[in-house]
């Protein structure tokens, strides 16, 4: 039996759907009810809810945006419960290998070390920047994209591909024992390229001007720094490296991210 945490979120929900479609026995772990699958109340902030008895494999979708100490405490609760309850294999959705410069990487790397030093068999899925997030951050206005991505390239990936890869690993965990996969795109794209494909104009902004705008946007205190770390890492080419890991897990070429980026770019902006 497989448990997927964070199943009310977009990635977790997509992983559950893939497993259901493949006929795998799966339970959706979530704080909020979800449709279409067996489910169990799981809340990383409530250790008493973390009962993994009877689950051979747990897909641990990372706990989302929060301060590092909060995320680390949540993840410790999950790993400790998995050890206690006899889980055989823990699959963790982390951040890409080149993502160490991102403002949310510390909690991911701490969690990787905790899992690798645990009593569990494990697989680390180092997920690249979502194509959907890249599109939302481009946010065109009146035919112009103004964002501090410079002309750096980024190997974005679609959330659907990452969900399929995670489901494939969860379906045959014995093939992926104690492996780390770097799930970034097979090619890198730039904001300027996206603008040209979409028939828009791209005007690079400065990090300083964008910081000022974010500081006045009503975001949570830790969010502006996280977003700026994404902009800066892309602008300076830190996230441009490609790998074949995603294609290897999918058994096919990864989806071309351009269409996903453009579709998301055309929707109302969210963080």
Count, residues in the chain? 271
**Residue whose pair of structure tokens reads 């300083």 in the numeric block:** 208
Q: Does an H or E element contain 243, and which?
A: none
Supply the pLDDT for residue 188.
97
Mean pLDDT taken over the chain: 95
> Would you tell me how many other CB atoms lie within 10 Å of the CB of residue 148?
21
CATH 3.40.50.620 fits 2-265, yes or no: no
What gap in Å lies between CA 126 and CA 128, rounded to an integer?
A: 7
DSSP notation for 16-42: HHHHHHTT--EEEEESS--SSS-EEE-
Strands (E), the chain: 2-4, 26-30, 39-41, 57-61, 89-95, 121-127, 144-147, 153-154, 179-183, 189-190, 201-204
Residues of the chain with pLDDT under 50: 271
- Range 60-75 burial, b when 16+ CB lie within 10 A, else e: bbbbebbeeebbbbbb
221 exposed, middle or buried (CB, 10 Å; 0-12, 13-18, 19+)? exposed
Supply the pLDDT for residue 52.
97
191 in Cβ contact with 147 (< 8 Å):
yes
Name the DSSP letter for residue 84. H
What gap in Å lies between CA 204 and CA 202, rounded to an integer?
A: 6
Q: What is the pLDDT of residues 53-101, one digit of tens each?
A: 999 999 999 987 789 999 999 999 999 999 999 999 999 999 999 999 9
Supply the pLDDT for residue 32.
82
- Residue-range domain boundaries for the chain: 2-265
Which residues are CB-neighbours of 268 under 8 A, at least 6 positions away?
none
Supply the pLDDT for residue 37.
75
Supply the pLDDT for residue 271.
47
Supply the pLDDT for residue 268.
60
- Pairing assessment for the beta strands 144-147 and 57-61 based on DSSP bridges: unpaired
Supply the pLDDT for residue 34.
72
Supply the pLDDT for residue 12.
96
């Amino acid at each position: 039996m497989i448990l997927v945490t964070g199943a009310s979120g977009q990635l977790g929900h997509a992983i559950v759907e893939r497993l259901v479609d493949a006929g795998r026995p799966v339970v959706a772990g979530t704080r909020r009810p979800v449709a279409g699958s067996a489910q169990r109340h799981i809340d990383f902030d409530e250790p008493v809810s973390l009962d993994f008895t009877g689950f051979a494999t747990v897909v641990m979708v990372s706990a989302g945006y929060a301060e590092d100490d909060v995320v680390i405490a949540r993840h410790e609760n999950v790993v400790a419960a998995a050890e206690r309850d006899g889980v055989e294999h823990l699959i963790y959705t982390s951040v890409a290998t080149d993502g160490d410069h991102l403002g949310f990487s510390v909690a991911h790397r701490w969690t990787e070390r905790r899992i690798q030093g645990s009593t569990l068999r494990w697989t680390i899925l180092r997920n690249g920047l979502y194509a959907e997030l890249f599109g939302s951050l481009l946010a065109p206005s009146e035919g112009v994209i103004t964002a501090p991505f410079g002309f750096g390239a980024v190997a974005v990936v679609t959330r659907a591909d990452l969900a399929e890869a995670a489901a494939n690993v969860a379906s045959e965990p014995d093939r992926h024992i104690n492996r780390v996969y770097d799930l970034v795109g097979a090619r890198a794209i730039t904001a300027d390229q996206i603008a040209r494909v979409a028939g828009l104009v791209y005007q690079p902004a400065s990090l300083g001007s964008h910081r000022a705008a974010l500081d006045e946007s009503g975001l949570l205190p830790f969010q502006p720094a996280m977003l700026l770390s994404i902009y800066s890492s892309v602008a300076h080419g830190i996230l441009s490296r490609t790998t074949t890991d995603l294609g290897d897990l999918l058994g096919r070429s990864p989806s071309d991210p351009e269409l996903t980026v453009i579709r998301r770019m055309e929707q109302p902006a969210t963080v």
